[in-house]
Amino acid sequence: MIMETLGFLNMTMVDFLDITIVAAIIYAAIRWIKGSSAVNIFIAIIILLICRILSVSIGMKMLSSLLGTLLDVGAIALIVIFQPEIRRFLNRIGSSAGKTIGSRSFLHWLLPSRSLVSIDDSMVDEIARACMEMGEQKTGALIILRKRNTLEDIVNTGDRIDAKISSRLIQNIFFKNSPLHDGAMIIADGRILAARCTLPISERPDLPASFGMRHKAAMGISEQTDADVIVVSEQTGRVSFVRDSRIMPITSINTLKLLIKGEKESASE
């Protein structure tokens, strides 16, 4: 009787498939935003949606109309509320698609992507040496290693330099009395592209309280782009490497060099 009232008596395989797909989407969405402040809002929306489905099935026209209007109007607000999560999700999809295009010759011909310009060993040595020496001197630094994302909006917030990569230049830029020390440095295509750049701040509530603004900024840019980030703490002098929203403490200059080169597996060993 209850099943007849709810309208679920005559379920077909298509209905089961529909429910399974929707449940999988909801599960994936909750996993994606887990740990952020948006998860509670998302759960509340799911509850409202379930209540509307039940009210429509039972025949409560006024309640279903009220809930439907609330959900329709709230759709625009959701885009604003979940903007960081949506941007991060779409960026991950785009990054995965870019890797697929790069690995498939026929897709690369149809949809050409920007090719990565690798930096040679001498440039890697200059960057790694500068970071480790700044760590010893407790000079705070934030260095962005650009990949496929152009980061043009981030570059435009700072001062363009377009200089050769040099350990001395990097340390001079982040020197406390330097006018360019506050902000992030962007390294791209084997050059120091810009300095004093402003980065988005991560809003993840699960970040350790010991993380300062540099670490939160590094997490923020890593959440929204595919860039790698090197952070040097001004308080402790510790050097950290951020990739795919994961912070890895650096204990040796060789580990840092491997990570800069992109040799993830070798560096983790």
What are the residue ranges spanned by the domains of the chain? 2-81, 121-268
User: What letters, b where the CB count within 10 A reaches 16 and e where it falls short, cover 222-259?
Assistant: bbbbbbbbbbbbbeeeebbbbbebebbebeebebbbbb
Please determine, for residue 253, whether its predicted confidence score (pLDDT) is greater than 60.
yes
Q: How open is the CA angle 172-176-177, to the nearest 5 degrees?
A: 85
**Cα 31–Cα 36–Cα 40 angle in degrees, nearest 5:** 80
| Rounded Cα gap, residues 181 and 171, in angstroms | 9
pLDDT grade, residue 64 (50/70/90)? Answer: confident
Measure the CA dihedral 227/238/196/191, to 10°: -50
Closest CA to 32 of 92, 122, 81, 76: 92
In single-letter form, the type of residue at position 258 comes to L
The mean pLDDT of the chain is: 79
Query: How does residue 223 score in pLDDT terms, banded at 50, 70 and 90?
Result: confident
Residue 111, pLDDT > 50, answer no
Superfamily of domain 121-268 in the CATH hierarchy: DNA integrity scanning protein, DisA, N-terminal domain (3.40.1700.10)
Among 145, 135, 169, CA closest to 222 = 145
| 56: confidence class by pLDDT, cuts 50, 70, 90 | confident
What confidence tens digit (pLDDT) does each residue in 167-212 have? Answer: 999 999 999 888 888 899 999 988 999 999 999 888 777 788 778 8
Q: Would you place residue 257 in the very low, low, confident or very high pLDDT band (cuts 50, 70, 90)?
A: very high
Contact present, 262 and 238 (Cβ < 8 Å): no
* Interval 28-38: pLDDT, tens: 776 766 655 56
pLDDT above 80: residue 92: no
**pLDDT at residue 124 is higher than 90:** yes
Torsion of CA 183, 187, 191, 192, to 10 degrees: 10
pTM here is 0.64
Amino acid at 229: V
Per-residue pLDDT band at 1 (split at 50, 70, 90):
very low
